[in-house]
Structure 1
Amino acid sequence: MTINIGDKVRFLNDVGGGLVVKILKNKMVLVENEEGFEYPINSKELIVIEKAKKNEPVIEKVESDKTHFSEDKQEAKFNFKKDNLTNIVFGFVRNIEDKKDGFDCYLINDSNFSLFYHVVLKLDTGFKKLDAEILEANTKIHVVYLSRDEINLGKEIIIQILFFDNPLEVLKPQIERKIKIVPLNFFQEHLFVENDFIVEKAYIFELLKENFGLGQSNKTNEDFERKILEKEIPEEDKSKRYSARQERKTIEVDLHINELVESVVGMTNSEILAKQMEVFHQTMTEAIMSKAGKVILIHGIGNGTLKASLRESLSKQYKLHFEDASFQEYGFGATMVLL
């Protein structure tokens, strides 16, 4: 039986099933389950339980020699040696253009395998699919752009990878890696380094690194998580233990709307709050980038809406400690943030 996009299928040799969303080459199809995850699977291992509705477009199972990834996303192959090295890397590059403020995400396949990847962002509210594509051997691809808000709200980035088409006919198990999102780290300049794969400095994570014949490293998810912990907790530089420490500066910002705009005529309450929150986020980014010690947010008393919004963002997005600022200096109208 021919399998088409839109068919509901059940796995022949496993529990579960889903909806066919893409036809791949070599009799492979992409199946999306109820949770929104997509899996490549051989069509011979599927049973069609419901055909696509007639009023829905049906795409015949015809596969060309070209894979289905976008050519503008796929970048030029590396100049690589014919070795057995497998190095899979995920990198973040800061992107600030016009009104954009976020990070470009890249996946690098420095190996002789082709691979299918599936990238998901974990949030408090569930999972958000970022991308799913085929990536050829010794190639990199721009996966997605993540805004600053998505970084602040995200908990983890989950990358699932299935290897295929190795010229040496070596079978590799599929892997899953989880990158824990620590928002502060994305604004630490020293974590963005020169690398062999991306022109700009990047925040780099090695998902898999193997060199057959010379031992293997970073092979399991436990190895990967251990390396991330080592990256987050750098070894102490004992030579600086007794050196004088410079006092970190305090940044103060007055968020009263009259201090931010020339006139509030015509502005709604929601527009006023949006402007105040915009200045708040700009101030927090500046404070983190400049390695400030404290931030004083002057919000006034009012009806408490701005104060509540600020503290919710500090708690859920920035995950920073805060408390009431000095009563003698600010009364009840300010919050102090400790960085």
Structure 2
Amino acid sequence: MKFKLGDFVRFVDERREGYITKIIDGQTVGVTGDDDFEIPVLVTKITPVHGTHLDDEEKPASTFIAEPIAIKDFVKRGIYWAIVDDAKAKSVVHLHIINDTSYQLLISVVGEQKQQFRGVFSGMIDSNSIDKICSLSLTELDSWPKLIVQVILHTSTNFKPELPINKEFKFKAKDFSGTKKAILSLNNVNGWLFQIDDPELVIDAVKLKESFFKASEEKPKIEKASSEVDLHIEKLRDDFHFLKNAEILNIQLERFHKSLDAAIVDRLPAIVFIHGIGNGTLKHELYKVLSKHPQVKTFMDAGRDKYGYGATKVILK
């Protein structure tokens, strides 16, 4: 039996189950259970649990347009990639195409890796509809295929036919550094949107030349003081899946310094930093700074009833 990313499986020889989060080769897959640990296992040692495949999730109903749309209400642009995390298998994301236009779309998606091509999806997506294209593993982002999207736009309304869309997408970590948005078509699940039918960039040579001689005006950004700051990386960045440990620590320390400075400027009596327990590295770095800071009177573990051992309260002078 051929397994796919997102299949829910049970181990044959032991009481264990989980989701397939990596296809290692033709004989081996990675299975992640409730403990979030991925275990390599032979496909002969697992069996599918029917009715729980991630692909079996109910898709939003398509909107069928029975009659031509009035020209004044016709929407010409609004085709997007929507990429969302899976609710159960944390390292898996689902790629959808959203059609917010008034066109019916005939779509083909082909994956390309090292000059090898494979069809990923083909089909019709009605106006104001969405379709799931594929699922991929975030931990293998660097090995995602280039996705070649071809779109033919059709309508029975009195419009001159648009030229077909032919675009290539090679997603990288920086593409996911932006803030997630609530995606209405996916019941307001947060995810990343990338427009497929965005117009070609036209450069105005005159404006470009003027910009060379115009001084940039940047308003200084002032951190607003808060009496409680959560330093968990998932609270600071949406793209934390793709960051290395050293990058995560630098981001957390940068937020710590800015929040501490803001609290001092606004004369807050105290501030709580929620850093979690983890391996203690972040807490150690915070304590190194706080122990030498001239504006810090003292610091201690915050209230254990509320924070456990994962927060530090700083009393300011």
TM-score by length of 2: 0.42
